[in-house]
Structure 1
């Protein structure tokens, strides 16, 4: 996620240089075609780029709105994961009674339940980013890691372990039925959040919108160059590229939000959010070995 109020020109050029080259070549070709072939026969009506420009504005605006909606929904879901994770740890620390367990066993039980929540978040983050990340394993016992090794969805398997552990607490009388129901509701909410993130990730943005927007921008740039070359001469190449650059930059900026869980500067900062929850939960347990918060990269963005 970008944290700078202004986007550096170098970043814009890095994201658009390939399209810029294509547009410049297209503008040169359009200028040469009009100069050599067309101008002696007919003039291109100026209404053509006018209509195309208006249509593209609607396309780009619609695409950007929909892409931002996906990004914002993803951010809200992870915001709920932050709250539910803290609520889970608070419930474990405050509501689980010692029962017949000795002090050491009691501390271990609470620690394991909170540690599994941290493991769940790291496993979910890795799944959403299609990354090989074994960070979650450091918060699981060896037998727990063996149990989930063959599972396709590790985050879901960890939630299953949490559910079994919660049932065992109720069976041993360490929580009453009312608290069992309330804490089980937290697990349900965590499962719901996991499902919503997977829905966003697995639902591909309609390809037709992206394809036609790119095609219309190219047609617009070519037709604009053809029209203004009658007045601006060779400068129509630069002007055609400049207007096209505005449309392309706006479209690429919106499309960078289309996949909010990608590991890039515009995506939801899963590393930062997960680390924040990890720090909060470890502090609630009274741990002393607390990791450092995720720091911005080049003071420009966080992942």
Structure 2
């Protein structure tokens, strides 16, 4: 996630440079044909450019609003996991005097958060799991189709064993189980976003319309702009291309890119907070933005 408040215009230009270069070259050809070679037939001044531009802006705006809603929902669900992870640790510390149980559940919840991040990014997380899970559970997770769910099941069994041993009463178990249920519900929402991309029409149609508009734009504007056509047409085309790129960047928040929800920073926050909740003083350092990007 880009957290730098400065506008990185150079990054926007570089990301659109191939298409922008073709667009400006085309604008120059149209300008030379009209102003240099006096080919008046290339001019189409009756094109309703303002109407077409407004329609395309509306379509792109709808797509971008939908893409941002997906991104923000993903961030909200991760916030729910952070809050409920803290609640789980607090409940254990206040409702149980068994420090061994507190340590096992807290370490398991940290492993769960790390595993969920890897699960959404489709990355292996064996090394991270080995740091916080017992060897037999870490080995079992390697064959699980959904590692976070496997860890949640193991945490549930730990709580059930604590109840049977008298370490937790029924009320405490119910409260902790409700917290685990909220975490599982948040995971389901994250998986829905990951596994259900935006319909391809939302991506393809705006891009097709923008490129078609960039083709007819210099034809409709060359009569009035003259030699300034490459500048005016190129600037408008660049604006539309950037708007389209914004939507594309936001529609998939779990692609390990600079516009993703910062899951590494979020899981590190969970890791630090839960370790401190059980009295661990030596914790990892928080993840800081690097070059204005928080991952």
The reply to whether TM is greater than 0.5 is yes
- What secondary structure, in the 3-state scheme, does the structure 1 residue paired with 2:143 have? coil
Worse-superposed segment, 79-88 or 45-54: 45-54
Q: Distance in 1 between matches of 2:131 and 2:260?
A: 26
What 5-or-longer segments of structure 1 have no aligned partner? Answer: 98-105
Q: Distance in 1 between matches of 2:252 and 2:34?
A: 40
Q: CA deviation at 1:23?
A: 2.0
- Kept in 2, the 8 Å contact 1:30–1:226? The answer is yes
Q: Counterpart of 2:289? A: 296
Q: Counterpart of 2:5? A: 5
Q: CA deviation at 1:34?
A: 5.6
Q: Counterpart of 1:100? A: none
Could you say what the CA RMSD is over the residues aligned between the two structures, in angstroms?
2.0
Q: Distance in 1 between matches of 2:177 and 2:104?
A: 16
Equivalent positions of 1:39-118 (< 5 A) are 39-41=39-41, 43-97=43-97, 106-118=98-110
Q: Counterpart of 1:168? A: 161
TM-score, structure 2 normalization: 0.93
| Count of residue correspondences | 294
**Cα 1:3–1:94 shift into 2, 3 Å:** same
Q: Select 2:115's aligned residue among 108, 114, 123.
A: 123
**Cα 1:158–1:221 shift into 2, 3 Å:** same
- What secondary structure, in the 3-state scheme, does the structure 1 residue paired with 2:16 have? helix
Equivalent positions of 1:171-250 (< 5 A) are 171-250=164-243
**Cα 1:208–1:274 shift into 2, 3 Å:** same
Q: Distance in 2 between matches of 1:282 and 1:228?
A: 63
Verify: 1:140 aligned to 2:107, yes or no: no
- Kept in 1, the 8 Å contact 2:42–2:219? The answer is no
Q: CA deviation at 1:210?
A: 1.4
- Kept in 1, the 8 Å contact 2:34–2:42? The answer is no
Q: Distance in 1 between matches of 2:231 and 2:130?
A: 55
Q: CA deviation at 1:142?
A: 0.5
Worse-superposed segment, 28-37 or 191-200: 28-37
